[in-house]
């Protein structure tokens, strides 16, 4: 997977470089600018803006295709304004037809995204690990990909085609779709809801292209929590952890709210809170204070 010259490394180029330098590339979901900053400080090379994260945490909605392009771009801008890690963005089914997909591509690249994944579910989509999913015909998804490729103004921007067909059409049907999606111009395949490492191996062997397979290692799902070593041996190029931190934050917040409500104090849950000084460390808070002191020292 080629990358741009160091003199002009676009977000897409940096995403491609990260794929070649970390195997598999670990991509963690970040809900907001602060979690993105924490991920960068800890050494992650790429981050993720999940459609479910936008729906659940920015709008209090289930991930059922209710949020739109504007909602996604709003959250994307907040993250890219604060953190320069390449961001993979979940765009559901593309939010509409060819012209809408073209508008989406323009907005994503303008607002600093490095990559997208678009899926082959019907417009009224469901979580990839829930029953009742439906996929569009292979040709319709090919058209979605072609529209995205045609509208790509940065050739390094990464287009990932997600297929949910494994649970509906079986492995052979999903492999057939994956091949067609790559032929249409997709850079990678997101094989959703795989249940075994052998299924990932089958995708990797079928694609026969380096840096082409993404695995969604989401908790409480059809996919086991495979290790990066297991995924690497199965031919996976990138491992996605879309809402791991969000689930942990939810559980911690619930415990804190329960303690304050029922015990009248937060004393018993201080150990699950981030200390103030650690927050300041990630925000570089003290350097801001020092700048204020230096700027206004002579006027005091």
DSSP letters spanning 257-292: HHHHHHHSSSGGGGGGSPPHHHHHHHHTHHHHHHHH
Question: To 10 degrees, what angle do helices 166-183 and 138-151 make?
Answer: 40
Q: Annotated binding site for substrate, which residues?
A: 127-128, 162, 192, 216-218, 247, 276
The pLDDT tens digits of the residues spanning 54-89 come to 999 999 999 999 999 999 999 999 999 999 999 999
DSSP 8-state secondary structure symbol assigned to residue 46: E
**CB atoms < 10 A from the CB of 7, how many?**
5
The pLDDT tens digits of the residues spanning 129-166 come to 988 899 999 999 999 999 999 999 999 999 999 999 99
The pLDDT tens digits of the residues spanning 178-218 come to 999 999 999 999 999 999 999 999 999 999 999 999 999 99
The pLDDT tens digits of the residues spanning 13-29 come to 999 999 999 999 999 99
d(CA 222, CA 196): 9
Q: Annotated binding site, which residues?
A: 90, 92, 127-128, 162, 192, 216-218, 247, 276
User: H-type helices in 184-243, by residue range?
Assistant: 197-207, 228-233
Q: Annotated binding site for Mg(2+), which residues?
A: 90, 92
Give the residue numbers marked as catalytic. 48, 63, 90, 92, 117, 119, 127, 162, 192, 216
* H or E element in which residue 108 lies: helix 98-110
Bridge pairing between strands 25-29 and 238-241: parallel
Domain boundaries, given as residue ranges, for the chain? 11-243, 251-298
In CATH, the number for domain 11-243 is 3.20.20.60
- Note if the bond before 236 is cis, omega within 30 degrees: no
Enter the pTM of the model.
0.95
């Amino acid at each position: 997977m080629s990358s741009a010259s160091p003199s002009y490394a676009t977000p897409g180029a940096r995403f491609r470089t990260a794929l070649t330098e970390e195997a598999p590339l670990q991509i963690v979901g970040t809900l907001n600018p602060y979690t993105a900053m924490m991920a960068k400080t800890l050494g992650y090379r790429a981050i993720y803006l999940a459609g479910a994260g936008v729906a659940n945490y920015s709008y209090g909605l289930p991930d059922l295709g209710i949020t739109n392009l504007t909602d996604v771009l709003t959250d994307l801008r907040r993250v890219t304004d604060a953190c320069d890690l390449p961001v993979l963005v979940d765009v559901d089914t593309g939010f509409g037809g060819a012209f809408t997909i073209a508008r989406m591509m323009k907005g994503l690249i303008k607002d600093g995204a490095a990559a997208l994944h678009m899926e082959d579910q019907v417009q009224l989509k469901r979580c990839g690990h829930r029953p009742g999913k439906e996929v569009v015909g292979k040709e319709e998804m090919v058209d979605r990909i072609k529209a995205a490729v045609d509208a790509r103004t940065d050739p390094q921007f990464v287009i990932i085609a997600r297929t949910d067909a494994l649970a509906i059409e079986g492995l052979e049907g999903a492999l057939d779709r994956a091949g067609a999606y790559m032929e249409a111009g997709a850079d990678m395949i997101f094989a959703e809801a795989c249940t075994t490492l052998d299924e990932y191996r089958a995708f990797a062997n079928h694609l026969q292209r380096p840096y082409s397979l993404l695995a969604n290692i989401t908790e409480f799902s059809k996919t086991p929590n495979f290790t990066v070593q297991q995924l690497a041996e199965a031919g996976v190029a990138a491992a996605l952890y879309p809402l791991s931190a969000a689930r942990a934050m939810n559980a911690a917040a619930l415990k804190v709210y329960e303690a304050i409500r029922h015990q009248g104090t937060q004393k018993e849950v201080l150990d699950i809170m981030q200390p103030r000084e650690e927050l300041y460390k990630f925000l570089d808070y003290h350097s801001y204070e020092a700048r204020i002191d230096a700027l206004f020292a002579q006027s005091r």
